Amino acid sequence: MASGGNPQFRYTQPPSKVIHVRNLPWECTDEELTELGNLFGKVVNTKCNVGANRNQAFIEFADQNQAIAMISYYASSAEPAQVRGKNVYLQYSNRQEIVNSKNTGDAAGNVLLVTMEGVLPDAVSIDVLHLDCLSNL
């Protein structure tokens, strides 16, 4: 693939089933990314609002050939990829899958929120928490 062609693309990464999307509008949603990718295959995951300016995202396809189809289509098309009327830039990600996706936020965590009335903040210790929890059983 030529690197001097369309400036919308960077061919610095080998093909991956994950597409890196840049120059997105701030309001971009996962649904819009899925819609953009669904023309080329099954989108299995997305991750929005990444990067320093929160205007980048990732689209993960079920198969690498689907990602190749998307990049190839827009590389040869007179019409650039767009989200909300704004031209976006596509390239292969350096990863083969999206990690830390939106779904991981729904997983159970190890955080316990305790409210204690009548106890000064600097008086709270593990022993005070233990006694308070035992007294509420």
The residue behind tokens 């990600």 is: 93
Residue 91, strand partner residues: 20
Query: Average pLDDT in the 37-47 region?
Result: 97
Tokens standing for residue 63: 């198969």
CATH code that applies to domain 18-100: 3.30.70.330
Domain ranges of the chain: 18-100
Confidence class of residue 5 from pLDDT cuts 50, 70 and 90? very low
Q: Alpha-carbon distance 66 to 5, whole Å?
A: 22
Q: Alpha-carbon distance 117 to 33, whole Å?
A: 46
Residue 54's φ and ψ, nearest 5 degrees, are 60, 30
Q: pTM of the full predicted structure?
A: 0.66
Residue 55 pLDDT exceeds 50? yes
pLDDT of residue 82: 96
Confidence class of residue 104 from pLDDT cuts 50, 70 and 90? very low
Q: Alpha-carbon distance 81 to 47, whole Å?
A: 17
Residue 53 pLDDT exceeds 80? yes
